Amino acid sequence: MRAFALCIGLITLWVNLLLGQKFPEKGLPPLNNYAPIEYAQAGKVWAIQSAPNGLVYFAADKGLLEFDGLNWRRRPGSKGFTRSLLVVNDSVIYTGADKDFGVWRRTGLGDFQYASLYPFRESAKGLNEEFWGVYSLEREIVFVSFDNIYVLKGGQLTKIAAPSRFSKSFQVDGAIYLADEKTGLCHFDGLSLNQVFGYPDPQPWQIMGVDQTEDGLLILTRSRGLWRYQEARLQPVPWLVSQYLQRDQVFSFAPIEQDHYAIGTILNGVYITDRQGQIIQHLNKPKGLLNNTILSLHYSPQGSLWLGMDFGVAKVFLSSQIAYILDHQGEFGTGQTALLDQRDFYLGTNQGLYFANWDSLKNNASGISFSLIPGSAGQVWALQDIRGDIWCGHDRGLFRVSRRGLIPIYTEEGVLAMTPLDDQHLVAGTYNGLSLFQLKGGRWTFERKIAPVQGACNQVIADGEDLLWINVPNFGLIKASMSPDFRIEAQRIYLDRVFEGENPWISLDSTGLHVRTSQQAYVYDASQDSFLRADSLPGLKAIVNRLPFIWEGLPISDTFQFFPVYNGFALYNQASQASSPPPASLVVRSLTAFNNDTTESFDPPAAIPYHLNNIRVQYLVPHQADMRYRHRLVNFQDKWSEWSSQQHLDFINLPEGDYQLLIEAQSPAGVLRAQPLQISILPPWYRQWYTYLGFVLLALALYGLMRWRHQRKLERMEARLQASERQARAKQAEADQQAKMLQNQERLESEIVDLKKRLRAKTIELAKKGKENEDKNRLLQTLRDTIADIEKRSSVSNRHWAEMSRLLDNQTRNEDNTFEVQIDELNQDFLRRLKARYPALTTYDLRLAIYLKMGLSSREIAELLNVLPSSVNVSRSRLRRKLNLDADQDLYEFLIEV
């Protein structure tokens, strides 16, 4: 009876374990690494959370990061490093940072606005707080630093001091726990701190994680392993993973739903365990991570585990149906083929044939180990179970496989594929044609080549008893009809160019013969002896680094398919499909309007100017690949578009009007619908209501202006008539006046001409008079000289000669004064100005200046002065120098202007 109960208990435990294994144990789940350069060099990531719409947010050194699976967006908020965050919903996020904490509120499709809530942000007063925790507690938001707790409720902040110093804080099932360096673990109920337990010894306790279990609180420490607190007792947990955690030092912790834990370490990556402490996955730098130090962990509702590392961020697809076993240490190479014989797993690679226990292919702390079968080194192309024996197609020939080594069957040339024809015969595709093998006396032997097939044959498929399908790469497919003695009686060749795409691959199942290429799928129609296009192209599995031309997986069991990849292989678990969580939601990321010169962003409902009537909408299902989308723009499109993988829409030259954009996404869980977008293209400015109003007002203004102008025109016409009459009279009077003035002007001009003539004659007369006076003066001077000479020699009375000399002097002075008086009277103003400006001028210079100003020629002046014309020219040059004239200045013009 006891044995029966024990058996029932073991069965129950096995069932629980089976049901609890949500994540694959075999191989490494797919992961994506993101180096800091990909997210704007934002530094280290200290906290991660998901929004309900599927977007993931990160608290990083340089602000808040947002990632939708394709694009990163960084938003700087606080001046210090951002340390923690709390995503309340799609539109509200709280963050904690160095010397600051605050709230982000969404203001549009892709924008957030930050507001600080920290009261000491501007004047810290010596405080140096770092806020490493943000939590929601009923209607309160709790911010935790090393020294204080700040509770935000109803817009009011309450500050609660730490007993000594908080080293870490946690939220478990809505309850907030804080680890104090001296007091121990405390529980915070929103008003006060209550001790849960004190530390059992004075040695440093660094609590890094807390979880509520049926057996009490599970406590994770940095270097003292796992502990459990139950019924006021703190006891170590004897799990195997605890040993690794003590060695690798825990830094971060995250429960994964109700089934698993993720534990990040400082030295050796992350451990994923079940609730019984069994290691399900272990990821570190040798297994693909960028760094071994895990600073933060987050499990998203979409089934991905996010890791914030000391360098970079990683996303682990825990719910993926695909797992990888990669050769990080160079132990087995690139997988080519595989075979599962009960629990024995055979792997053919480019380095040889390897063996491992199927149950040992777990990505746990101990790793995965393969053993090379002796004598199998080299390229393995194919493995097949034929009537209980494992056959190996090798680059050295055809072999049977045993644990002790390979048993050679045929060693002439490499074998790419094989298939049995009946119990006694087997055909193999080789590097050059087909080879037939026969079982004789219990031993398989090479029989002969099957003509006329030549070239490498990488697929040989028996379709019934008398038909073979042969795939010759870079040539085509051959359908060969076989005779009873296994000779080709007839053949039909389907060249590669018959198929759209590259590298046709044959598969045979219960529905018939199929061919798949890189672009198209085909089904063989025996009635037409041709290949027909399939209705749809089966989607390729998202296998990373898959070998070229591998379109389908190799089934190795009812559950798993094998895929060759570079530096290892991948396993596809068909049974885990139902466990994949549904995607979050279809999110519209941006709405922009543009023309050739300008691009502007809008938020719905969007009223877009007519000159920006080119619209682009970007959307996606966050962190979901292979999604298909369709759309319909109501009032522009009558039908839905075809499903496609495109994640943006462009509408060019939309007419004015109101539209509603509907977008749907197709997922395995059903159809997702985005919130309808209301878009209005405004009319051009000349068709706006205010433009029409302006036109009416303008028309009224023009009408009033025209009436006013018409009235003004009539008034002006009447005024012009009156003015015309006045002008006519005035013109007549003016004409009479002008006639009189003309007569007077003509008379004055005639008098001026006459005066000029008289002036010229008078001037000449004066000049001649002056000349005569000068001649007389010379004569008189001669007489005086003669008289003086006579006086010296004559005995005539000196008194009589003196009287005669006095009379001659008086006559000379009178003549000279007469000329000067006449000259002064005619040119008084001119001489005064000229003497004032040039006092060094002599009487001769002044007389010459007067003659030149009168316009006399050099000859006329020479006659008046009784000198040669050349002397006049010399005098003219001397006068120019005295007047300081430049060479290009005209002497006559200068004298006229004086």
Could you report the per-residue pLDDT of 74-86, keeping only the tens digit for each?
Answer: 998 888 899 999 9
The pLDDT of residue 598 is: 92
pLDDT grade for 470, boundaries at 50, 70 and 90: very high
Q: Pick the closest to residue 132 from 248, 252, 226, 228 (CA basis).
A: 252
**pLDDT surpassing 90 at residue 847:** no
The pLDDT of residue 802 is: 64
Cα–Cα distance list, 305 to 46, 48, 265, 272, 320 (Å) = 15, 10, 15, 10, 11
The identity of residue 101, as a single letter, is: F
**pLDDT surpassing 80 at residue 781:** no
The identity of residue 69, as a single letter, is: G
- What the block records as the tokens of 346 is 């055979």
The pLDDT of residue 16 is: 39
> For 342-346, 721-725, 792-796, which range has the lowest pLDDT when averaged over its residues?
792-796
- Tell whether omega for the bond before 538 is within 30 degrees of 0, i.e. cis: no
The pLDDT of residue 93 is: 96
Could you report the per-residue pLDDT of 301-317, keeping only the tens digit for each?
Answer: 888 999 999 999 999 99
> For 17-31, 124-138, 506-520, 648-662, which range has the lowest pLDDT when averaged over its residues?
17-31
DSSP, res 91: S
User: Percentage of the chain surpassing pLDDT 70?
Assistant: 90
Average confidence score pLDDT of the chain: 86
| Burial status of residue 163 (CB atoms within 10 A of its CB: 0-12, 13-18, 19 or more) | middle
Q: What residues contact 102, with CB distance under 8 A and at least 6 apart?
A: 77, 78, 94, 95, 114, 115, 116, 117, 118
Q: What residues contact 527, with CB distance under 8 A and at least 6 apart?
A: none
Q: Is 316 helix (H, G, I), strand (E, B) or coil?
A: strand
Q: How many CB atoms lie within 10 A of CB 837?
A: 11
pLDDT grade for 811, boundaries at 50, 70 and 90: low
The whole-model pTM stands at: 0.73
Q: How far apart are the C-alpha atoms of 13 and 304, rounded to whole Å?
A: 27
The pLDDT of residue 750 is: 83
Cα–Cα distance list, 384 to 388, 393, 419, 799 (Å) = 10, 9, 8, 176
Could you report the per-residue pLDDT of 222-249, keeping only the tens digit for each?
Answer: 999 999 999 889 999 999 999 999 999 9
**pLDDT surpassing 60 at residue 818:** no
